[in-house]
Amino acid sequence: MKLLKNKLLLALLVLISGYGYIISCTHDNSVPPPAAVVGIKYKPGTGVFVPGNMTAGNPNEWKLDKVHSSVLWSGAYIGAAGLLTGRFNQFGMHNVLPAEMTLYLPAGQPVKDTSWAFNEGDDSKTYFNGYVQMNTSNTGEPGRDSGCNIGNMGTQKISYYGGQYCLRDSNIARLQTTKVAFDPSTGNYIVNFNLTWKGKLSTPLTESLVGRLSYVKRATIASAVPYDVFGLQLLFQLNIRDFGVTSTSIGDKVDIQCNMNFNNK
Amino acid sequence: MGDDFLAYIERLQIMAFFAGYPLIYALVQVLAGRQACKSGSFANRLVQSLPYAYALTATLFLGMLLRDLYPDYSMKNISGQFQDPWLRVFGLLAMLNWIPFISQKPLLSLLHSLVFFFFIIQDLLLHITTSSIGKEVIQNDMRIFTDSFLLNTVTVTVILAFSLIIARIRKR
């Protein structure tokens, strides 16, 4: 009798889990992507963009349009399925020096976004420095933002610093390019860079990574005083386990997308 | 699933440990069959190792919780990190199977683990009857269920191997 009950239980469990597997393994038909176009060789343009002193009204000095830029992150939740996504509210393009790693009043950019240059035709003259304030990570989901989102990255919430911007090395991730090279097969740039972040480690770790940079061409915006804009988008991936992040809510690999817009107003 | 995404992830985490146990339990009971009644037989040892294997799984679950909380074990951090502490506490109750009095009743471990298996049944029913649960959720459930089944297979194997080694040492 007991054996019969066990057999019945086994049959039920196999039936239920089998049905679950059938549902989960059924694929919807998907449209195949268009065939790749081969043989096209792109040539870089001749644009030269430098920030100078970011003097307002100087059309030769390009300013980071922080308000219309973004740094986004995404990773598979529990490393198994759809994406967890979020953004960093505070970031900039400055090589943050040790003397500048301190607290700032939350008004505008804490340090000038002047540590970059983009030369379309001569990639040896292109370089970038950037940083994000990790505790400004924002998922748009209150349950996550008030929960473990910040703690899992090894830093403290903004309220911990009395609402001030914190550029201490425990709270910022820094990016510094080592080489930028034009890729004629895509028209993009291959960017080698060092990423420095403490995460949940005892000291900041610097890791060499590779990303892809695409350039959105310069365009003139018609207004009372016309001005020009251009954009840069950097995509790369990092393994957050290297930085001591142990949360099982997100997978090992996290994709980062930096969308930077500039103007010469 | 509810509105709380973090609670959903926590539920998946706990399912990864316990949801696969009922299938292992039923498989072992059926494979052992009537041989399970013969004291000292391999089948008997296999059936007896089930609750201890379940307790080992719960201990691994406790280890994961402690790792997630490291290095801040304060109540503030615990309440901040855990969306549904009662479900976790219920999961940790499986560690009571280390107590011989409780482990003598393997049915208790089955009933405990069925709570987590019912989450899968619930999602399947909601998927069939309403559109509130998408196929992605079922895919998650089944991946987690597979992982859980493998984990529980490993814990049963470890406990069984340990029990055989102890028995051999005692014979000598």
Q: Which of residues 76-95 of B touch A (CB under 8 A)?
A: 77, 80-81, 83
Q: Who among B30, B72, B138 is closest to A23 (CB)?
A: B138
Contact B142 A20 (CB under 8 A): yes
Tell me the nearest-neighbour CA distance from A131 into chain B, angstroms. Answer: 26
Q: What would the pLDDT profile of B96-140 be if each residue is shown by its tens digit?
A: 999 999 999 989 999 999 999 999 999 999 888 887 777 888 888
A194 against B9, higher pLDDT: A194
pLDDT value for A3:
67
CB of A173 closer than 8 Å to CB of A129:
no
Q: How many CB pairs under 8 A join A and B?
A: 91
pLDDT value for A79:
63
Percentage of residues of chain A with pLDDT beyond 90 = 47
**pTM for this one?**
0.54
Nearest to A131 by CA among A260, A261, A263: A260
pLDDT over 50 (residue B1): no
Contact A10 B12 (CB under 8 A): no
- Residue of A2, A5, A7, A17 to mutate, testing the B interface (most B Cβ within 10 Å of its Cβ): A17
pLDDT value for B22:
95
Nearest residue on chain A to B114, judged by CA atoms?
A: A13
Q: What would the pLDDT profile of A195-212 be if each residue is shown by its tens digit?
A: 999 988 888 999 999 999
pLDDT value for A147:
67
| Residue A194: strand pairing partners | A176, A208
* Band (A30; pLDDT cuts 50, 70, 90): low
Decide: residue A258, CB within 10 A, 0-12 exposed, 13-18 middle, 19+ buried.
Answer: buried
Number of other CB atoms surrounding residue A134 within 10 Å? 21
Nearest residue on chain B to A201, judged by CA atoms?
A: B71
* Band (A29; pLDDT cuts 50, 70, 90): low
Q: Write down the mean pLDDT value for chain A.
A: 87
Cα angle at B128 between B9 and B84, to 5 degrees?
A: 25
CB of B54 closer than 8 Å to CB of B21:
yes
Q: Which residue spans within B65-114 are E strands per DSSP?
A: none
**Average pLDDT for residues A55-78, to the nearest whole number?**
90
pLDDT value for B58:
96
Q: Which of residues 20-39 of B touch A (CB under 8 A)?
A: 22-23, 25-27, 29-30, 33-34
pLDDT value for B14:
93
pLDDT over 80 (residue A28): no
Q: Please give the domain boundaries of chain A with CATH numbers for all domains.
A: 41-263 (2.40.128.110)
Rounded-to-integer distance, Cα A132 and Cα B89, Å? 38
Nearest to B153 by CA among B20, B15, B12: B20
Contacts of A237 (CB under 8 A, 6+ apart): A209, A253, A254, A255, A256
> Phi and psi dihedrals of A126, rounded to 5?
-95, 135
DSSP state of A180: E
Q: What would the pLDDT profile of A82-125 be if each residue is shown by its tens digit?
A: 788 899 999 999 999 989 999 898 888 999 999 999 999 898 99
B95 against B9, higher pLDDT: B95
The answer to whether the complex's ipTM is over 0.90 is: no
pLDDT over 50 (residue A188): yes
Q: What would the pLDDT profile of B43-67 be if each residue is shown by its tens digit?
A: 888 999 999 999 999 999 999 999 8
Q: What would the pLDDT profile of B3-41 be if each residue is shown by its tens digit?
A: 467 788 888 899 999 999 999 999 999 988 877 777 778
Nearest to B115 by CA among B147, B90, B142, B84: B90
- Is the dihedral angle over the CA atoms A91, A94, A98, A104 positive or is it negative? negative
